[in-house]
């Protein structure tokens, strides 16, 4: 079976999941704490949703069939699976949000198609690498000019829209690094002097790396967010390691990061608070002050779910019905803050239990596995570094947010890719997916894994 036919077949379970998921949410609508009042019946709307979803995916699939016929067949269905899972979960939290998310999903698929069609050869990106990295920095610094959200400068509010520029900045950084490291990887290793078994690369070539380290520290300082700095710097180290095979770079990098983070945490009260809340989420004082409220509730929600979960629509999210509809603050009325964005993993574990959480992590792991597979299959260094970098930043994002809500690492406001509500996140991740598929198409065609029908390789653009 050709790759594209496999992809088409693999989309069916995702569409089924949408139908079944919506049906489950409709059924639980009659329940009490689901947050949705209403009748206890299955609407044929669930099938409509499934149909529309399948239609959209098939459209995107046709784009792939026409343009990237050899690309990895599993990536897109896996992403679609995550997206529809997120859509059902968001619908269960708030129907209006789900409608917006569905719109973002359509726009995301459009952007996905546009990226693939216009950027047939992704290697043109190399030419604009400095422009891209500059754009990335500007995007990162943009929120500094707006009011902070939850004490961090991660998002900008424009009217009712909330944008997270960091989502796009992460792509810019990976593209730049892939290109830069392709040129310098040999020099970083061979031109360096070895001191005590550690390779010290020449400053000329390592300089930009230090710039990036400095940037993540500055990020930590300006954006006040440990998680996204960890995500950026982690991706940098992963790519550096892939490019040079030098573990010493990673070790030195990590030491630099944690050393820097220690200093910055002491200087920025907001980060110190976050660390305090992370260490003692149930401390009554921190809880009362609201610092550890979110994390404590996230952990309570997960404990409430247990092994099998409470079932779709059964998480206690809103207790306004209890206090008679008069809420003086969100802390009083909302059991779990930001359930549709930062804490969607906690809601999922609450409703589907450890089992649901494990399955979700498995889907992410499968995407990561496909991503690294593409990187290994790719022939040229830029493609390898790009695929590995994109996959690493994707995996790190999952690690940072899930680790945050499970108290593995300090809590951070990044989204769960494809699942959380959020336009920027959906769009950026679809572009990430498009890039991976483009690398995959070329790699598989060159390796002869694809459809078998050899086509003339498109030459480098220009």
Q: Which residues bind another protein (CB under 8 A)?
A: 31-33, 37, 238, 241-243, 245, 282, 284, 287, 296-297, 299-308, 310-311, 316, 319, 321-322, 324-325, 335, 349, 353-354, 357-358, 361, 364-365, 368-369, 372, 375-376, 381, 384-385, 388, 392, 395, 398-399, 402-403, 406-408
> Nearest distance from residue 315's CB to another protein, in Å?
9
> Nearest distance from residue 297's CB to another protein, in Å?
8
Please, which residues bridge with residue 161 across strands? 158
Per-residue tokens: 33: 């704490």
> Nearest distance from residue 31's CB to another protein, in Å?
8
> Nearest distance from residue 319's CB to another protein, in Å?
6
Q: Which is nearer to another protein, 287 or 430 (CB)?
A: 287
Q: Which is nearer to another protein, 222 or 300 (CB)?
A: 300
Backbone angles phi, psi at 325, to 5 degrees: 75, 0
Is-contact 93 334, C-beta < 8 A? Answer: no
> Nearest distance from residue 241's CB to another protein, in Å?
5
Q: Which is nearer to another protein, 35 or 423 (CB)?
A: 35
> CA-based angle 425:431:434, to the nearest 5?
140
Q: Which is nearer to another protein, 205 or 384 (CB)?
A: 384
Q: Which is nearer to another protein, 105 or 364 (CB)?
A: 364
> Nearest distance from residue 395's CB to another protein, in Å?
5
Q: Which is nearer to another protein, 66 or 376 (CB)?
A: 376
SS3 287: helix
Locus of tokens 């009011």: 147
Per-residue tokens: 416: 């769960």
Q: Which is nearer to another protein, 134 or 358 (CB)?
A: 358
Gap between the Cα atoms of 219 and 205, Å rounded: 22
Is-contact 182 385, C-beta < 8 A? Answer: yes
Is-contact 175 383, C-beta < 8 A? Answer: no
Measured CA distances, 61 to 55, 109, 118, 304 (Å):
10, 10, 16, 39
All residues at 6 or more sequence positions from 375 whose CB lies less than 8 Å from its CB, including other chains: 242, 383, 384, 385, 387, 388, 391, 439
> CA-based angle 367:387:390, to the nearest 5?
70
> Nearest distance from residue 365's CB to another protein, in Å?
5
Strand runs labelled E in 192-334: 193-195, 198-200
């Amino acid at each position: 079976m050709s790759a594209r036919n496999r992809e088409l077949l693999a989309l069916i379970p995702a569409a089924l999941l949408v139908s079944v998921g919506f049906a489950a949410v409709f059924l639980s609508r009659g329940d009490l704490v689901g947050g949705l009042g209403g009748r206890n019946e299955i609407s044929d709307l669930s099938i409509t949703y499934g149909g529309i979803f399948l239609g959209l995916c098939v459209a995107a699939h046709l784009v792939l069939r026409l343009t990237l016929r050899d690309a990895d067949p599993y990536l897109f269905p896996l992403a679609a699976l995550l997206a529809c899972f997120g859509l059902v979960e968001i619908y269960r939290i708030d129907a209006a949000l789900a409608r917006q998310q569905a719109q973002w999903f359509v726009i995301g698929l459009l952007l996905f198609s546009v990226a693939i069609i216009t950027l047939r050869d992704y290697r043109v990106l190399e030419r604009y690498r400095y422009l891209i990295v500059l754009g990335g920095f500007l995007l990162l610094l943009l929120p500094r000019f707006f009011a902070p959200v939850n004490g961090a400068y991660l998002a900008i509010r424009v009217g009712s829209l909330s944008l997270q520029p960091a989502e796009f900045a992460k792509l810019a950084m990976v593209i730049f690094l892939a290109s830069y490291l392709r040129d310098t990887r040999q020099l970083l290793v061979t031109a360096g002097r070895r001191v005590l078994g550690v390779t010290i690369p020449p400053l000329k070539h390592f300089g930009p790396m230090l710039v990036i380290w400095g940037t993540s520290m500055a990020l930590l300082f300006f954006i006040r967010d440990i998680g996204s700095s960890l995500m950026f710097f982690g991706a940098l180290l992963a790519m550096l390691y892939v490019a040079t095979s030098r573990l010493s770079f990673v070790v030195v990098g990590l030491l630099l990061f944690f050393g820097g983070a220690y200093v910055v945490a002491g200087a920025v009260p907001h980060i110190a608070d976050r660390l305090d809340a992370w260490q003692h989420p149930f401390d009554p004082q921190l809880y009362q002050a609201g610092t550890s409220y979110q994390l404590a509730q996230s952990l309570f929600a997960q404990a409430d779910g247990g092994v099998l979960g409470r079932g779709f629509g059964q998480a206690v999210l809103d207790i306004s019905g209890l206090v008679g509809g008069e809420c003086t603050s969100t802390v009083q009325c909302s059991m779990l803050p930001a359930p549709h964005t930062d804490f969607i993993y906690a809601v999922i574990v609450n409703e589907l239990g450890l089992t649901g959480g494990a399955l979700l992590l498995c889907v992410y792991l499968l995407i990561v596995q496909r991503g690294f597979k593409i990187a290994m299959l790719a022939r040229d260094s830029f493609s390898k570094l790009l695929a590995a970098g994109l996959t690493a930043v994707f995996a790190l994002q999952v690690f940072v947010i899930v680790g945050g809500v499970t108290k593995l690492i300090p809590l951070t406001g990044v989204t769960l890719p494809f699942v959380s509500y959020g336009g920027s996140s959906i769009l950026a991740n679809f572009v990430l997916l498009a890039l991976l598929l483009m690398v995959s198409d070329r790699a598989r065609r060159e390796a002869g894994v694809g459809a078998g029908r050899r086509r003339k390789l498109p030459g480098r653009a220009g």
